Amino acid sequence: MKKIIIVFSIIGILILSCKSSSSNEKSKTINITFESKSGSKVNGTATFSEKKGSVTLTANFTGLKPGEHAIHIHEKADCSAADATSTGGHWNPTFKKHGRWTDAEHHKGDIDNFYANADGNATVLFKTNEWCIDCGDETKNIIGKAVIVHEKADDYTTQPTGNAGARVACSAIIK
């Protein structure tokens, strides 16, 4: 919403325009679709949405083995390899140790583990102000990265990957 202020003076008319800071701030959204990798049958979709300085990841998966799984953001938006190793390692622009998101030391790509139910279905919901969508800050910008789902849980201690096993699904984060 813009407010327009018209000021009349002896010299003429001066029009001032100022942008209000209303709650209608634009949000940014990216939708992605996962490919099965490493011989798995995992499929899924996800949405990244940014509003008021926070990014929310909402993802839904099918075809997982029941139990706990790791999910990470990796450094390259390249899912071309059959085992998804073309995505490189975990996204770690601040050069921290791998760990749980709530630990002082963690990669920007470290996301908490999630659970698949007995039917192999799962939903992930994650929110952070440490990411942005196409903001120009390379220590926060998730564009040009990939999301990987792993066959096992992250142990949060093994460096630099968390010993999470094969990469069973992959999607590039691109506009």
pLDDT in tens, 108-155: 999 999 999 999 999 999 999 999 999 989 999 999 999 999 999 999
Q: Does some domain include residue 132?
A: yes
pLDDT given at position 25: 56
In a domain, residue 75? The reply is yes
At 175 the pLDDT is: 87
Q: What is the C-alpha end-to-end distance of the chain, expressed in Å?
A: 26
* Residue at token pair 């390692």: 89
In a domain, 35, yes or no: yes
Q: How far is CA 139 from the centre of its chain?
A: 13
Assigned domain for 93 exists: yes
Confidence band of 82 (pLDDT split at 50, 70, 90): very high
Considering the domain boundaries, does residue 135 fall inside one?
A: yes
Asked if the model's pLDDT at residue 41 lies above 50, the reply is yes
> For residue 21, is it within any domain?
no
More confident residue, 87 or 6: 87
The string of DSSP letters for 34-90 reads EEE-TT---EEEEEEEEETTEEEEEEEEESPPSEEEEEEEES-----STTSGGG-SB
Contact 90, 110 (CB under 8 A): yes
Weakest mean pLDDT among 5-9, 68-72, 121-125, 141-145 = 5-9
Long-range contacts of 131-136 (CB under 8 A, 24+ apart): 131/48, 131/50, 131/55, 132/50, 132/53, 132/55, 133/28, 133/29, 133/30, 133/48, 133/50, 133/55, 134/28, 134/175
How far apart are the C-alpha atoms of 113 and 60, rounded to whole Å?
Answer: 14
118 lies in which domain range? 26-173
Please give the Cα distance from 1 to 14 (Å, whole number).
20
In total, how many domains does the chain have?
Answer: 1
- pLDDT by residue (tens digit) across 13-38? 443 333 333 344 578 999 999 999 99
Residue 8 makes CB contacts below 8 A (sequence gap 6+) with none
Supply the CATH number for residue 79's domain. 2.60.40.200
Within a domain: 13: no
- Confirm whether 121 is domain-assigned: yes
